[in-house]
A and B are shown apart, each in its own frame.
Chain A
Amino acid sequence: MSASIIATESLGHAYGDIVALHHLDLDVPEGRVGLVGANGAGKTTLIKILLGILTPTVGAASVFGKSVGDETLDIRGRVGYMPEDSCLPLAQTAADFTIYAAELAGIPPRDARQRASDVLTLVGLYEERFRYLGEYSTGMKQRAMLAQAIVHDPALVFLDEPTAGLDPEGREEMLDLIGRLGEFGINVLASSHVLTDIEQTCDWVVMLDGGRVLRSGPISGLTETGVVEVEVLGDPAAFERRLVEAGASVERHGRTLVVRLDGGDPFDAVRDALADSGTGMRRLDTRSTTLEDIFLEVPEAR
């Protein structure tokens, strides 16, 4: 596992009587991390605590090993933040605001101008950079918000519902941009209640529900089921018999068989059964589950 970028220890936060986070223990590695959960799950609260905007009621958190609270300014010097709601001054041009956002992060003015130009090109706003932000469409505003979040080359960027309010095309473009951030060496913590967005862009997921962690782990590990789906040519009876003899459990749907094998590799079992029975194969696939399936499987999340 790569180095940890975010760690929490029994982290909790309450708004008066309403408990938003319950004793979170997290250890999040480098890369693109998805923070999923329904509205009110505690995603934004967690991000605000990590930024030092909110103070935890109990527990502790750290970002890049630096303690939230004691070393907040050090953390803020290395992160970017794209909030869920608009954060754009409508009376400024995108170019001016992005330069300002870079300078606010401590980038010297000359470098800030160059970086703003580069980042606005990256998010596809270069041609529109001298327009006032108040004239931008929703999709353009989201891009401008992403630009201000990464213009200072942060080591980690917090994206709070980055696709909120976007049409399908804008959503795909935003997800593509988020996916590319990893290539630039920028770690990402993206929150969303749209599970497919996280599946598409992230390699690690933290699932929150009601302020509690349901799962935290690599997406590939979570969505792999160890189940193989095989479609065969001709009668599958002999093939099915061989699989059962090998200890696999088999579900048959016409010429398609769903194969499970506890304590062994189902691919090896399928290969051997096909060879022994002389059956031809049309298709072989792993059956993967979605984050949504996992989310609904967990009793507390229902």
Chain B
Amino acid sequence: MTDRGVVYDLGYVPHEGARLGKPGAVRATIKDGVRRVLGLRRRARKKVLPWILFGIALIPAIVFVGLAFFLTSFVPEADSPFGGHADYYDLAGPVMVIFTALAGPELLIPDREEGVLAVYSSRPMRASDYLLARGAALAIVIAGFLVLPQLLMYIGFAAIDSDGFVQTLLSDWPNLWRIAVTSVAFLVGYGAPALFVSVYAKRLAPATGTLLGILVGSTGLAAALSESGAFAGSRYAALLAIAQHPFALRDWAFDQSSVDSVVADAGFGPVWSLAMILGIAVIAGGLALRRYRRLM
């Protein structure tokens, strides 16, 4: 062992490797967004709520598949209120409301209020790229919440079905597109209001509170207004039940009807719900783009 050390100053090393340009920037923004909403590489308190919600969304599916595996008498769709693919959204839907109310603001507000948008402004991406990347991050995480439990049940129940694994998978395949359609409806139906509020709110907690108020409170308001008959065309107020539109599309996809649906009770079919979801998404997206083009 030598008693003399030598310090080598390598100095500054220029980057001679690849530069991935806009695709690299967008990929990085998506990755950061996923980490951010799940609290990864953040303080422990940032992880608590997302992972509790993820647990609430996923664990029942694991339990149902487990029960069905160990108890041959257990029939998920008959013995559990959430055991079927369609019914599972009755559990996942409220979880989604809370999750998007937390995740939407988390994706946009800190970047804007902490001045981080200035960094994006010096990188090879535009406002639309940034917003799409943030939306993609939300979609990836929500897909995890909505699709993973469904896939687990789809594969798990097929594995223990007496008709055989492959045979059951093939006979149940229409459930896959139903799950896809419904999950997209929840993503856009809840994500668009989250985008709308997050574009204008300055702080996380008020934004989350406002979103919960809009998503939860709008159903009660819509019901009260549409059932009051206080003004001409008051039944159209039922369309303000923003949180119920994804359920309406779920019912259409799975060919069923919900017992308590303000929208359906007022006589509006799934096309109206689709139009409302798309309308809100277009308005929220347009306003977001307008604002962010001025910022970056």
Interface residues of B (CB under 8 A from A): 10-15, 17-25, 27-29, 31-32, 41-43, 46, 110-111, 114-126, 295-296
Q: Is the CB of A106 within 8 A of B20?
A: yes
* A32 in the interface (beta carbon within 8 A): no
Per-residue contact bits, chain A 86-101, to B (CB 8 Å; 1 contact, 0 not): 1111111100100011
Instruction: Tell me which residues across on chain B come within 8 A of A83, comparing CB atoms.
Output: 115, 118
- Give the distance in Å from the alpha carbon of A106 to the alpha carbon of B29 in the complex: 11
Q: Is the CB of B115 within 8 A of A100?
A: no
Q: Is the CB of A106 within 8 A of B17?
A: no
- Give the distance in Å from the alpha carbon of A98 to the alpha carbon of B46 in the complex: 20
- Give the distance in Å from the alpha carbon of A183 to the alpha carbon of B12 in the complex: 9
- Give the distance in Å from the alpha carbon of A103 to the alpha carbon of B32 in the complex: 10
CB distance from B128 to the nearest CB of A (A): 12
Nearest chain B residue, comparing its CB with the CB of A160: B118
Q: Is the CB of A76 within 8 A of B123?
A: yes
Instruction: Tell me which residues across on chain A come within 8 A of B120, comparing CB atoms.
Output: 104
Interface residues of A (CB under 8 A from B): 51-53, 72-74, 76-77, 79-81, 83, 85-93, 96, 100-101, 103-108, 111, 115, 118, 122, 132, 148-149, 152-153, 158, 180, 183-185
- Give the distance in Å from the alpha carbon of A73 to the alpha carbon of B127 in the complex: 12
CB distance from B296 to the nearest CB of A (A): 6
Q: Is the CB of B123 within 8 A of A105?
A: yes
Instruction: Tell me which residues across on chain A come within 8 A of B18, comparing CB atoms.
Output: 106, 108, 111
Q: Could you say which of B27, B46, B115, B126 contacts A91, with CB atoms under 8 Å apart?
A: B46
Q: Is the CB of B122 within 8 A of A73?
A: no
Q: Is the CB of A73 within 8 A of B125?
A: yes
Q: Is the CB of B118 within 8 A of A87?
A: yes
Instruction: Tell me which residues across on chain B come within 8 A of A52, comparing CB atoms.
Output: 121
Q: Could you say which of B31, B111, B122 contacts A81, with CB atoms under 8 Å apart?
A: B122
Q: Could you say which of A77, A89, A183 contacts B124, with CB atoms under 8 Å apart?
A: A77
Q: Could you say which of A53, A106, A149 contacts B296, with CB atoms under 8 Å apart?
A: A53
Residue of B13, B32, B117, B119 with most partner-chain A CB within 10 A: B119
Instruction: Tell me which residues across on chain A come within 8 A of B29, comparing CB atoms.
Output: 104
Q: Is the CB of A108 within 8 A of B24?
A: yes
Instruction: Tell me which residues across on chain A come within 8 A of B12, comparing CB atoms.
Output: 118, 122, 180, 183-184
Q: Is the CB of A101 within 8 A of B124?
A: no
Q: Is the CB of B116 within 8 A of A89?
A: yes
Instruction: Tell me which residues across on chain A come within 8 A of B114, comparing CB atoms.
Output: 86-90
Q: Could you say which of A76, A89, A96, A101 contacts B110, with CB atoms under 8 Å apart?
A: A89
- What 5 A-B pairs have minimum CB-CB distances, sorted nearest first? A81-B122, A103-B28, A106-B24, A153-B15, A184-B12
- Give the distance in Å from the alpha carbon of A66 to the alpha carbon of B96 in the complex: 46
Q: Is the CB of A73 within 8 A of B126?
A: yes
Instruction: Tell me which residues across on chain A come within 8 A of B13, comparing CB atoms.
Output: 118
Q: Is the CB of A106 within 8 A of B46?
A: no
Q: Is the CB of B15 within 8 A of A152?
A: yes
- Give the distance in Å from the alpha carbon of A108 to the alpha carbon of B24 in the complex: 7
- Give the distance in Å from the alpha carbon of A239 to the alpha carbon of B110 in the complex: 71
CB distance from B91 to the nearest CB of A (A): 30
- Give the distance in Å from the alpha carbon of A85 to the alpha carbon of B114 in the complex: 9
Instruction: Tell me which residues across on chain B come within 8 A of A118, comparing CB atoms.
Output: 10, 12-13
Q: Is the CB of B115 within 8 A of A105?
A: no
CB distance from A224 to the nearest CB of B (A): 31
A91-B24 contact in complex given A73-B125, A86-B115, A153-B15, C-beta closer than 8 Å: no
Q: Is the CB of A104 within 8 A of B125?
A: yes
- Give the distance in Å from the alpha carbon of A81 to the alpha carbon of B22 in the complex: 17
Q: Could you say which of B23, B27, B124 contacts A105, with CB atoms under 8 Å apart?
A: B124
The contact sample of 19 A-B pairs, CB cut-off 8 A, is A51-B121, A73-B21, A73-B124, A74-B124, A77-B123, A77-B124, A81-B119, A85-B118, A90-B110, A91-B42, A91-B110, A92-B41, A103-B24, A104-B24, A104-B120, A106-B18, A106-B124, A107-B19, A108-B24
CB distance from B49 to the nearest CB of A (A): 14
CB distance from A62 to the nearest CB of B (A): 17
Instruction: Tell me which residues across on chain B come within 8 A of A81, comparing CB atoms.
Output: 118-119, 121-122
- Give the distance in Å from the alpha carbon of A212 to the alpha carbon of B41 in the complex: 46
Q: Is the CB of A107 within 8 A of B119?
A: no
- Give the distance in Å from the alpha carbon of A257 to the alpha carbon of B153 in the complex: 96
